[in-house]
Structure 1
Amino acid sequence: MAVKDSPTSWVNEHIQKYVETNGAEGHEWRPGVHTLLLTTKGRKSGEMRRTALIYQPSGDDHVVVASQGGKPTHPAWYLNLEEEPVVDVQVAAEKFQARARTAGPDERDRLWKLMNEVWPAYTDYQQKTDREIPVVVLERIKG
Protein backbone atom coordinates (compact mmCIF):
# COMPACT_ATOMS: atom_id res chain seq x y z
CA MET A 1 0.00 0.00 0.00
CA ALA A 2 1.32 3.44 -0.92
CA VAL A 3 2.23 5.78 1.90
CA LYS A 4 1.04 9.39 1.93
CA ASP A 5 3.51 11.81 3.41
CA SER A 6 2.71 14.89 5.45
CA PRO A 7 0.88 17.58 3.46
CA THR A 8 3.03 20.24 5.17
CA SER A 9 5.62 21.10 2.51
CA TRP A 10 8.74 21.42 4.69
CA VAL A 11 7.87 18.20 6.56
CA ASN A 12 7.24 16.45 3.23
CA GLU A 13 10.66 17.59 1.93
CA HIS A 14 12.29 16.37 5.14
CA ILE A 15 10.60 12.96 4.79
CA GLN A 16 11.64 12.62 1.14
CA LYS A 17 15.28 13.35 1.97
CA TYR A 18 15.12 10.89 4.89
CA VAL A 19 13.63 8.12 2.72
CA GLU A 20 15.89 8.71 -0.30
CA THR A 21 19.05 8.54 1.82
CA ASN A 22 17.79 5.82 4.19
CA GLY A 23 18.13 8.24 7.08
CA ALA A 24 21.65 9.46 6.27
CA GLU A 25 20.10 12.89 5.72
CA GLY A 26 17.21 13.90 7.94
CA HIS A 27 17.81 11.67 10.96
CA GLU A 28 19.77 14.53 12.50
CA TRP A 29 17.42 17.40 11.72
CA ARG A 30 19.35 20.06 13.62
CA PRO A 31 22.51 19.67 15.70
CA GLY A 32 21.60 17.34 18.56
CA VAL A 33 17.96 17.01 17.41
CA HIS A 34 17.08 13.65 15.85
CA THR A 35 13.93 12.63 14.03
CA LEU A 36 12.21 9.40 13.19
CA LEU A 37 9.57 8.61 10.61
CA LEU A 38 6.24 7.42 11.97
CA THR A 39 3.67 5.75 9.71
CA THR A 40 0.13 5.35 11.01
CA LYS A 41 -3.04 3.95 9.46
CA GLY A 42 -5.58 6.72 8.78
CA ARG A 43 -8.53 6.24 11.13
CA LYS A 44 -11.01 7.48 8.48
CA SER A 45 -9.30 6.76 5.15
CA GLY A 46 -7.46 3.56 6.03
CA GLU A 47 -4.48 4.99 4.12
CA MET A 48 -0.95 4.77 5.47
CA ARG A 49 0.28 8.22 6.53
CA ARG A 50 3.86 9.18 7.36
CA THR A 51 5.30 12.09 9.31
CA ALA A 52 8.67 13.05 10.80
CA LEU A 53 8.90 13.62 14.54
CA ILE A 54 11.57 14.61 17.02
CA TYR A 55 12.32 11.68 19.31
CA GLN A 56 14.42 10.59 22.23
CA PRO A 57 15.31 7.03 23.17
CA SER A 58 14.17 5.77 26.57
CA GLY A 59 15.61 2.33 27.20
CA ASP A 60 14.52 0.18 24.25
CA ASP A 61 11.64 2.53 23.45
CA HIS A 62 11.38 5.74 21.44
CA VAL A 63 9.48 8.74 22.77
CA VAL A 64 7.68 11.40 20.70
CA VAL A 65 5.41 14.31 21.58
CA ALA A 66 1.99 15.06 20.01
CA SER A 67 2.47 18.83 20.28
CA GLN A 68 1.29 20.12 16.91
CA GLY A 69 3.04 23.37 17.88
CA GLY A 70 0.58 23.96 20.71
CA LYS A 71 -2.55 23.94 18.55
CA PRO A 72 -5.81 23.27 20.45
CA THR A 73 -6.32 19.84 18.84
CA HIS A 74 -4.22 16.69 18.73
CA PRO A 75 -2.32 16.03 15.49
CA ALA A 76 -3.89 13.59 13.04
CA TRP A 77 -1.10 11.05 13.54
CA TYR A 78 -1.91 10.87 17.26
CA LEU A 79 -5.63 10.37 16.60
CA ASN A 80 -4.68 7.64 14.12
CA LEU A 81 -2.55 5.72 16.60
CA GLU A 82 -5.26 5.94 19.25
CA GLU A 83 -7.45 4.01 16.79
CA GLU A 84 -4.68 1.64 15.59
CA PRO A 85 -1.64 1.56 17.88
CA VAL A 86 0.53 -0.68 15.69
CA VAL A 87 2.74 1.67 13.68
CA ASP A 88 5.75 1.54 11.38
CA VAL A 89 8.87 3.38 12.53
CA GLN A 90 12.12 4.29 10.82
CA VAL A 91 15.05 5.50 12.91
CA ALA A 92 17.95 6.38 10.61
CA ALA A 93 18.26 3.23 8.43
CA GLU A 94 16.49 0.92 10.89
CA LYS A 95 12.85 0.06 10.21
CA PHE A 96 10.54 -1.76 12.64
CA GLN A 97 6.99 -2.05 13.91
CA ALA A 98 6.02 -0.63 17.27
CA ARG A 99 3.02 -0.42 19.52
CA ALA A 100 2.25 3.18 20.44
CA ARG A 101 0.83 4.16 23.79
CA THR A 102 0.31 7.43 25.60
CA ALA A 103 2.59 7.76 28.61
CA GLY A 104 0.71 7.38 31.87
CA PRO A 105 0.87 9.94 34.68
CA ASP A 106 3.55 7.96 36.52
CA GLU A 107 6.02 8.28 33.62
CA ARG A 108 4.85 11.37 31.75
CA ASP A 109 6.76 13.91 33.86
CA ARG A 110 10.06 12.09 33.39
CA LEU A 111 9.53 11.65 29.63
CA TRP A 112 8.30 15.25 29.21
CA LYS A 113 11.55 16.46 30.80
CA LEU A 114 13.53 14.12 28.55
CA MET A 115 11.86 15.54 25.44
CA ASN A 116 12.25 19.15 26.63
CA GLU A 117 16.00 18.60 26.98
CA VAL A 118 16.23 18.17 23.22
CA TRP A 119 13.39 20.54 22.19
CA PRO A 120 12.69 23.21 24.86
CA ALA A 121 9.91 24.73 22.71
CA TYR A 122 7.58 21.97 23.95
CA THR A 123 7.13 24.01 27.14
CA ASP A 124 6.04 27.01 25.04
CA TYR A 125 3.67 24.81 23.04
CA GLN A 126 2.04 23.53 26.24
CA GLN A 127 1.45 27.12 27.38
CA LYS A 128 -0.40 27.88 24.12
CA THR A 129 -3.08 25.23 24.64
CA ASP A 130 -5.50 23.99 27.30
CA ARG A 131 -5.04 20.35 26.25
CA GLU A 132 -2.38 18.27 27.93
CA ILE A 133 0.07 17.53 25.15
CA PRO A 134 0.46 13.75 24.95
CA VAL A 135 3.81 12.06 25.30
CA VAL A 136 3.85 8.87 23.24
CA VAL A 137 5.98 5.80 23.86
CA LEU A 138 6.77 3.63 20.83
CA GLU A 139 7.47 0.11 22.06
CA ARG A 140 9.23 -2.08 19.51
CA ILE A 141 7.27 -5.21 18.62
CA LYS A 142 9.62 -8.15 19.04
CA GLY A 143 9.62 -10.93 16.53
Structure 2
Amino acid sequence: MSINDVSPAPETSPWLPPRWVVRTAWRIHRWLYRATGGRFGLRQPSPDRYGLAQLTVTGRRSGEDRSVMIGYYRDGDDIVTMAMNGWGEPEPAWWLNLQAEPLASLTLPDVTVGVTGRAATGDERARLWDRWRHFDTGLDGYATRRPNETAVVVLSPVIEV
Protein backbone atom coordinates (compact mmCIF):
# COMPACT_ATOMS: atom_id res chain seq x y z
CA MET A 1 0.00 0.00 0.00
CA SER A 2 1.35 3.40 -1.00
CA ILE A 3 1.31 6.24 1.52
CA ASN A 4 -0.83 8.15 -1.00
CA ASP A 5 -3.64 5.64 -0.82
CA VAL A 6 -6.35 4.70 1.56
CA SER A 7 -6.78 1.37 -0.24
CA PRO A 8 -4.40 -0.87 -2.21
CA ALA A 9 -3.15 0.79 -5.41
CA PRO A 10 -3.16 -0.85 -8.82
CA GLU A 11 0.06 -2.51 -9.93
CA THR A 12 0.74 0.11 -12.60
CA SER A 13 0.02 3.78 -12.99
CA PRO A 14 -2.19 4.92 -15.87
CA TRP A 15 -0.38 6.50 -18.82
CA LEU A 16 0.64 10.14 -18.56
CA PRO A 17 2.04 12.30 -21.35
CA PRO A 18 5.65 13.49 -21.04
CA ARG A 19 6.24 16.21 -18.44
CA TRP A 20 6.88 18.88 -21.09
CA VAL A 21 3.40 18.24 -22.54
CA VAL A 22 1.76 18.64 -19.12
CA ARG A 23 3.65 21.87 -18.42
CA THR A 24 2.82 23.26 -21.88
CA ALA A 25 -0.88 22.48 -21.35
CA TRP A 26 -0.80 24.43 -18.05
CA ARG A 27 0.79 27.42 -19.77
CA ILE A 28 -1.76 27.35 -22.59
CA HIS A 29 -4.63 27.12 -20.08
CA ARG A 30 -3.35 30.16 -18.15
CA TRP A 31 -2.73 32.07 -21.37
CA LEU A 32 -6.24 31.36 -22.71
CA TYR A 33 -7.77 32.45 -19.41
CA ARG A 34 -5.85 35.74 -19.47
CA ALA A 35 -6.26 36.35 -23.23
CA THR A 36 -10.04 35.94 -23.04
CA GLY A 37 -10.39 38.15 -19.98
CA GLY A 38 -11.54 35.18 -17.92
CA ARG A 39 -14.28 34.09 -20.37
CA PHE A 40 -12.49 30.77 -21.00
CA GLY A 41 -10.77 28.48 -18.54
CA LEU A 42 -13.01 28.25 -15.49
CA ARG A 43 -15.96 25.93 -14.94
CA GLN A 44 -18.30 24.88 -12.17
CA PRO A 45 -18.06 21.28 -10.98
CA SER A 46 -20.84 18.94 -12.01
CA PRO A 47 -21.80 15.57 -10.56
CA ASP A 48 -19.44 13.80 -12.99
CA ARG A 49 -16.70 16.39 -13.55
CA TYR A 50 -14.46 18.50 -11.35
CA GLY A 51 -14.50 22.27 -11.73
CA LEU A 52 -11.68 24.58 -12.75
CA ALA A 53 -10.68 27.68 -10.79
CA GLN A 54 -7.78 30.10 -10.49
CA LEU A 55 -5.96 30.15 -7.17
CA THR A 56 -3.77 33.16 -6.38
CA VAL A 57 -1.25 32.75 -3.57
CA THR A 58 1.57 34.91 -2.22
CA GLY A 59 5.06 33.81 -3.27
CA ARG A 60 6.95 32.66 -0.20
CA ARG A 61 10.22 34.26 -1.37
CA SER A 62 9.10 37.03 -3.73
CA GLY A 63 6.02 38.20 -1.84
CA GLU A 64 4.33 38.62 -5.25
CA ASP A 65 1.00 37.16 -6.34
CA ARG A 66 1.29 33.80 -8.11
CA SER A 67 -1.70 32.32 -9.93
CA VAL A 68 -2.36 28.74 -10.95
CA MET A 69 -5.32 26.90 -12.46
CA ILE A 70 -6.64 24.09 -10.25
CA GLY A 71 -9.22 21.35 -10.45
CA TYR A 72 -11.67 21.33 -7.56
CA TYR A 73 -14.95 20.14 -6.13
CA ARG A 74 -17.14 21.52 -3.37
CA ASP A 75 -17.43 19.95 0.06
CA GLY A 76 -20.07 22.02 1.83
CA ASP A 77 -18.74 25.59 1.93
CA ASP A 78 -15.17 24.41 1.28
CA ILE A 79 -13.32 23.86 -1.99
CA VAL A 80 -11.19 20.71 -2.27
CA THR A 81 -8.19 20.34 -4.58
CA MET A 82 -5.07 18.20 -4.83
CA ALA A 83 -1.43 19.33 -4.47
CA MET A 84 -0.26 16.96 -7.16
CA ASN A 85 1.90 18.92 -9.62
CA GLY A 86 0.70 16.92 -12.61
CA TRP A 87 1.67 13.78 -10.68
CA GLY A 88 5.32 14.82 -10.88
CA GLU A 89 7.65 14.20 -7.96
CA PRO A 90 8.12 17.73 -6.53
CA GLU A 91 5.50 19.52 -4.50
CA PRO A 92 3.73 22.20 -6.54
CA ALA A 93 5.06 25.70 -5.86
CA TRP A 94 1.55 26.99 -5.14
CA TRP A 95 1.20 24.45 -2.32
CA LEU A 96 4.55 25.42 -0.78
CA ASN A 97 3.47 29.07 -1.03
CA LEU A 98 0.07 28.34 0.52
CA GLN A 99 1.71 26.54 3.43
CA ALA A 100 3.92 29.59 4.05
CA GLU A 101 0.96 32.02 3.73
CA PRO A 102 -2.44 30.29 4.05
CA LEU A 103 -4.47 33.33 2.95
CA ALA A 104 -5.21 33.28 -0.78
CA SER A 105 -7.72 34.34 -3.40
CA LEU A 106 -9.83 31.88 -5.38
CA THR A 107 -11.52 32.88 -8.62
CA LEU A 108 -14.47 30.66 -9.48
CA PRO A 109 -16.60 31.07 -12.62
CA ASP A 110 -19.05 33.35 -10.82
CA VAL A 111 -17.12 34.97 -7.95
CA THR A 112 -13.70 35.67 -6.42
CA VAL A 113 -13.39 34.86 -2.71
CA GLY A 114 -10.73 35.03 -0.04
CA VAL A 115 -9.79 31.59 1.28
CA THR A 116 -7.48 29.96 3.78
CA GLY A 117 -5.78 26.73 2.82
CA ARG A 118 -4.80 23.68 4.81
CA ALA A 119 -4.07 20.01 4.25
CA ALA A 120 -6.79 17.54 5.17
CA THR A 121 -5.63 14.85 7.60
CA GLY A 122 -6.86 11.56 9.02
CA ASP A 123 -10.43 10.52 8.32
CA GLU A 124 -11.19 13.80 6.55
CA ARG A 125 -8.35 13.18 4.08
CA ALA A 126 -9.50 9.62 3.47
CA ARG A 127 -13.08 10.78 2.81
CA LEU A 128 -12.02 13.59 0.46
CA TRP A 129 -9.50 11.37 -1.37
CA ASP A 130 -12.22 8.77 -1.88
CA ARG A 131 -14.52 11.41 -3.34
CA TRP A 132 -11.76 12.42 -5.83
CA ARG A 133 -11.84 8.83 -7.09
CA HIS A 134 -15.30 9.60 -8.50
CA PHE A 135 -13.75 12.23 -10.81
CA ASP A 136 -10.52 10.36 -11.56
CA THR A 137 -10.61 6.56 -11.62
CA GLY A 138 -6.81 6.45 -12.08
CA LEU A 139 -6.19 8.48 -8.92
CA ASP A 140 -4.52 5.73 -6.90
CA GLY A 141 -2.33 4.65 -9.80
CA TYR A 142 -1.20 8.22 -10.50
CA ALA A 143 -0.42 8.72 -6.81
CA THR A 144 2.10 5.86 -6.94
CA ARG A 145 4.27 8.11 -9.15
CA ARG A 146 4.92 10.44 -6.23
CA PRO A 147 7.36 9.50 -3.45
CA ASN A 148 5.41 11.41 -0.79
CA GLU A 149 1.79 11.59 0.18
CA THR A 150 -0.23 13.84 -2.12
CA ALA A 151 -1.86 16.56 -0.06
CA VAL A 152 -5.61 16.94 -0.26
CA VAL A 153 -6.01 20.70 0.12
CA VAL A 154 -9.09 22.29 1.71
CA LEU A 155 -9.74 25.92 0.83
CA SER A 156 -12.19 27.50 3.28
CA PRO A 157 -13.85 30.86 2.59
CA VAL A 158 -12.64 33.71 4.77
CA ILE A 159 -15.51 35.17 6.76
CA GLU A 160 -15.45 38.96 6.78
CA VAL A 161 -16.18 40.50 10.19
TM-score by length of structure 1 reads 0.84
Q: CA deviation at 1:18?
A: 3.2
Could you tell me how far apart the structure 1 residues matched to 2:98 and 2:150 are?
15
**SS at structure 2 position matched to 1:116:** helix
Whether contact under 8 Å (2:43, 2:108) holds in the other structure is no
Q: CA deviation at 1:46?
A: 1.2
Does residue 25 (structure 1) correspond to residue 25 (structure 2)? The answer is: no
Task: Quote the sequence identity (%).
Answer: 30
More displaced 10-residue stretch of structure 1: 117-126 or 70-79 = 117-126
Could you tell me how far apart the structure 1 residues matched to 2:54 and 2:137 are?
21
Report the structure number with the largest CA radius of gyration.
2
Structure 2 CA distance for partners of 1:18 and 1:51, relative to 1, 3 Å: same
Does residue 12 (structure 1) correspond to residue 27 (structure 2)? The answer is: yes
Residue in structure 1 matching 2:74, options 57, 73, 96? 57
Which residue of 2 is the match for residue 4 of structure 1? Answer: none
Q: CA deviation at 1:69?
A: 2.6
Residue in structure 1 matching 2:115, options 87, 90, 98? 98
Which residue of 1 is the match for residue 54 of structure 2? Answer: 37
Structure 2 CA distance for partners of 1:14 and 1:70, relative to 1, 3 Å: closer
Could you tell me how far apart the structure 2 residues matched to 1:81 and 1:59 are?
21
Structure 2 CA distance for partners of 1:93 and 1:9, relative to 1, 3 Å: farther
RMSD: 2.1
TM-score by length of structure 2 reads 0.75
Aligned residues: 135
Whether contact under 8 Å (2:80, 2:153) holds in the other structure is yes
Give deviations 1:14-70, integer Å, cap 9, x for gaps. Answer: 234335353x422239x8232111011111111111010110100000000001132
Listed as ranges, the gaps of 5+ residues in structure 2 are 1-22
